């Protein structure tokens, strides 16, 4: 099951976590890092040696408000979502599409959005906190 798979991949910063967790992830992933400083947030892109790319969106106050991923392996949703994982799991149980894993997943809860799509060897997704997105930033900018 794609959404709850926990592969032997390194840990990533949790949604709602602090910028310090991003720095720890760089070391754990042995990742190449590039940082883009935008007007009201920063995007820290980490490229793992096994090909997965994780972008962590951090507010100017230091909170991870969004995480995106793409690559051959999906990240651990429990690690990505942190304290929001139970809410995601509950929503997944009520919204589980037929043939799960072969169709995009779009969970839109009051304070959490998780969208995943792809297939074996090419996974993509994003998770974000609508209430924490900085002013002037649109959800469609989280890619």
pLDDT tens string 17-43: 887 777 766 676 777 888 899 989 999
Instruction: Confirm whether 11 is domain-assigned.
Output: no
What total of structural domains would you count in the chain? 1
Instruction: Confirm whether 128 is domain-assigned.
Output: yes
pLDDT tens string 78-109: 878 888 999 999 988 887 655 445 578 899 99
Instruction: Confirm whether 41 is domain-assigned.
Output: yes
Instruction: Confirm whether 14 is domain-assigned.
Output: no
Instruction: Confirm whether 12 is domain-assigned.
Output: no
pTM of the model: 0.82
Instruction: Confirm whether 36 is domain-assigned.
Output: yes
Q: Which domain holds residue 97?
A: 19-141
Q: Where are the alpha helices (DSSP H) in 6-143?
A: 19-29, 77-81, 85-95
Q: If residue 114 lies in a helix (H) or strand (E), which one and from where to where? A: strand 113-119
> Residue 38 and residue 98: Cα distance in Å, rounded?
40
Instruction: Confirm whether 48 is domain-assigned.
Output: yes
Which tokens belong to 98?
A: 């037929």
């Amino acid at each position: 099951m794609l959404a709850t798979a926990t592969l032997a991949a390194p840990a990533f910063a949790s949604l709602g976590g602090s910028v310090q967790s991003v720095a720890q992830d760089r070391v754990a992933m042995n990742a190449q890092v590039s940082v883009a400083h935008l007007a009201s947030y920063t995007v820290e892109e980490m490229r793992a040696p096994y090909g997965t790319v994780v972008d962590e969106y951090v507010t100017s106050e230091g909170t991870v408000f969004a995480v995106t991923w793409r690559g051959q392996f999906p990240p651990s949703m429990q690690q990505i979502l942190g304290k929001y994982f139970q809410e995601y799991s509950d929503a997944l149980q009520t919204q589980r599409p037929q043939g799960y894993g072969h169709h995009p997943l779009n969970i839109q809860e009051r304070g959490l959005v998780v969208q995943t799509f792809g297939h074996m060897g090419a996974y993509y997704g994003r998770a974000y906190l609508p209430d924490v997105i900085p002013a002037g930033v649109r959800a469609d900018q989280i890619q």
